[in-house]
């Protein structure tokens, strides 16, 4: 096992939540020695299930992905906000092996939903090496948000699944089911049993998911995420002296719920996991949102659901989160980590600068090169566009700051109005906005394209540019809107289009959105492949002055 330098955990100034900003929902955490490892949901993005590492719970580094090859995760036509749901990361001490369990839900939005996914897990003895993760081992038990609990030689599987088919009275949308499995092959060793039904009122809504089973001292604990993933989201817990019950509900439930005060700038807190430190302190990681315009429950969270942290203390063998105070952006007791002012990849190596690049769904074949033109990322546009439920020739990075400029420089010589290459700010196949180089009426032009309104209506504007030469492209993110711009030569950026941030956290009726905003670069032939390459000389993010 590789270990990193240990940083001091406690400090005299406050820390800034979220600890992992940008689209990073459903965190699950595991400590091994002095090292913490954390995974989050990835939905339709590839590679899947990012793995983060820290030695102090504040400074996190993306070290890889548990699902990083098509034999593990083959997403073809996966719907927006389908894909990989709610992973759990656990370490088996006896085997000295990590288990990551999750579900793949490729059809999430009506009228496509026809089945319930089953859980699968992958394993590794070397979490630092992406190639070491095994292929998937599938379980028979269906349901989302799976959890594994190892005790001795036993392994319990928990999933969230609707219980109405059992004839149970008023079980709500989801309940928790449990079975004992053979962890070498995923086969069940016991019948699957109904394990937990939410006790919330039916109209809250009654919906239990994200289960985690723990043992601390003599007590077993079942922690669940309840009431959906919007403003009413919360964390509940109950305990028992036996994994088979009887179970006692915490009289202080919910233990985490920012929905009590909808004026708070942090909302939708839930889907949590517990972790202890080597010193015996306890913390909770969980998802939350940073609302904007205004900074309360009526605002919009264009970055999606992010990973937050709060301290936990124990009283009468019950966990108390943040001394029962609301979750805020500033949390006492931990040090503040400054944001990086400028991040840049000049594509001057034969690999990307880090592991934070993603594609939409699993690529069929490579569509890029970092060596064909040294110092550039060369994209070969394929037939797919950013609006297709497929994998366009595009690389994306999560937007992790609210006020930031994404920029790039592209050399692209289109010869058809189908040809296009540029920069995008992307939420889904319906809601994405581009500033790009294309061809129109016999001229090379820049197109600024925005999607807005409940039907994601498209608006386009065109600006003629010289027939040759590179073009710099800019997307400026602000707290209430995005601006699209371009520049030639050494000119300053000229911003030519604007779109409200509300359309970067929206969805067309009948669909859903569980993800967050990405920046990206792309090339497309709009239904046909193209021969002209698009060469991107760099990509960069630069914080604007207000980064709070």
**Which residues are designated catalytic?**
26, 209
Can you tell me the distance from the alpha carbon of 333 to that of 335, in angstroms, rounded to the nearest whole number?
Answer: 7
Can you tell me the distance from the alpha carbon of 304 to that of 290, in angstroms, rounded to the nearest whole number?
Answer: 8
**How many other β-carbons are positioned within 10 Å of the β-carbon of residue 474?**
21
Token look-up 């609707």 returns: 162
Short-list 58, 54, 56, CA closest to 330: 58
The SS3 call for residue 165 is helix
Query: The tokens of 19 are what?
Result: 């600890």
The DSSP output letter for 340 is P
In DSSP terms, which residues pair with 300 in a beta bridge?
A: 292
Q: Give the DSSP per-residue string, 221-272.
A: EEEEEES-SSTT-EEEEEEESSTT---EE-TT--SB-GGG-TTSSEEEEEEE
The DSSP output letter for 8 is P
Short-list 111, 479, 430, 435, CA closest to 294: 479
- The set of residues, in sequence order, having a beta carbon less than 8 Å from that of 192 and lying 6+ positions away, is 141, 177, 178, 179
Can you tell me the distance from the alpha carbon of 105 to that of 84, in angstroms, rounded to the nearest whole number?
Answer: 6
- Residue 479 φ then ψ, to 5°: -70, -20
Query: The tokens of 17 are what?
Result: 């939540």
**How many Cα atoms within 13 Å fall on the side-chain side of residue 267?**
25
The DSSP output letter for 544 is -
Can you tell me the distance from the alpha carbon of 300 to that of 303, in angstroms, rounded to the nearest whole number?
Answer: 9
Chain centroid offset of residue 120 CA:
19
Going by their DSSP bridges, the two strands 193-196 and 208-216 should be labelled as unpaired
Beta strands in 335-415 (DSSP E): 342-345, 359-360, 368-369, 377-379, 393-398, 404-411
Short-list 261, 226, 235, 536, CA closest to 409: 536
Short-list 208, 135, 144, 142, CA closest to 171: 208
Query: Does residue 82 contact residue 100 with C-beta atoms inside 8 Å?
Result: no
């Amino acid at each position: 096992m590789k270990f990193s330098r240990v940083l001091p955990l406690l400090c005299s100034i406050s820390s800034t939540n979220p600890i992992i900003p940008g689209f990073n929902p459903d965190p699950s955490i595991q400590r091994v020695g002095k090292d913490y490892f954390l995974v989050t949901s990835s939905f339709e993005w590839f590679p899947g299930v990012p793995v983060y590492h820290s030695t102090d719970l504040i400074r996190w580094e993306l070290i890889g992905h548990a699902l990083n090859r098509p034999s593990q995760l083959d997403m073809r036509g996966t719907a927006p906000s389908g894909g990989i749901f709610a992973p759990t990361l656990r370490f088996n001490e006896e085997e000295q092996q990590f288990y990551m369990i999750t579900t793949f839900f490729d059809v999430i939005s009506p009228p496509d939903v026809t089945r319930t996914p089953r859980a699968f897990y992958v394993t590794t003895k070397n979490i630092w090496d992406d190639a070491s993760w095994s292929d998937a081992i599938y379980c028979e038990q269906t349901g989302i948000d799976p959890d594994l609990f190892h005790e001795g030689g036993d392994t319990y599987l928990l999933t969230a699944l609707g219980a109405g088919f059992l004839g149970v009275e008023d079980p709500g949308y989801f309940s928790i089911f449990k079975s004992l499995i053979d962890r070498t092959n995923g086969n069940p060793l016991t019948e699957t049993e109904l394990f937990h039904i939410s006790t919330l009122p039916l109209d809250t809504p009654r919906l239990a998911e994200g289960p985690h089973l723990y043992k601390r001292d003599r007590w077993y604990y079942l922690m669940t995420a309840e009431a959906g993933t919007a403003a009413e989201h919360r964390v509940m817990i109950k305990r028992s002296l036996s994994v088979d019950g009887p179970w006692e509900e915490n009289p202080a439930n919910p233990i985490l719920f920012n929905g009590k005060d909808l004026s708070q700038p942090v909302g939708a807190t839930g889907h949590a996991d517990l972790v202890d430190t080597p010193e015996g302190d306890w913390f909770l990681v969980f998802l939350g949102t940073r609302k904007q315009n205004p900074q309360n429950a009526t605002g919009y969270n264009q970055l999606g659901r992010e990973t937050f942290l709060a301290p936990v203390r124990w009283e009468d063998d019950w966990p108390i989160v943040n001394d029962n105070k609301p979750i805020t952006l500033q949390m006492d007791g931990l040090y503040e980590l400054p944001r990086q002012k400028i991040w840049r990849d000049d594509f001057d190596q034969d690999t990307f600068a880090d592991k934070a690049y993603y594609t939409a769904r699993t690529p069929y074949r490579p569509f890029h090169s970092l060596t064909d033109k040294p110092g550039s990322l060369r994209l070969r546009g394929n037939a797919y566009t950013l609006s297709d439920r497929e994998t366009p020739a595009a690389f994306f990075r999560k937007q992790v700051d609210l006020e930031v400029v994404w920029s790039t420089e592209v050399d692209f010589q289109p010869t058809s109005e189908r040809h296009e290459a540029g920069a995008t700010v992307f939420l889904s196949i319906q809601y994405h906005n581009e500033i790009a180089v294309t061809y129109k009426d016999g001229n090379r032009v820049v197109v600024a394209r925005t999607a807005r309104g409940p039907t994601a209506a498209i608006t386009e504007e065109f600006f003629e540019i010289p027939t040759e030469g590179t073009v710099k492209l800019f997307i400026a993110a602000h707290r209430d809107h995005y601006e699209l711009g371009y520049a030639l030569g050494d000119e300053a950026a000229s911003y030519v289009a604007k779109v409200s941030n509300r359309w970067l956290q929206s969805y067309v009726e009948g669909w859903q959105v569980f993800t967050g905003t990405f920046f990206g670069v792309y090339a497309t032939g709009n239904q046909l492949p193209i021969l002209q390459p698009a060469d991107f000389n760099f990509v960069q993010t630069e914080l604007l002055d207000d980064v709070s």
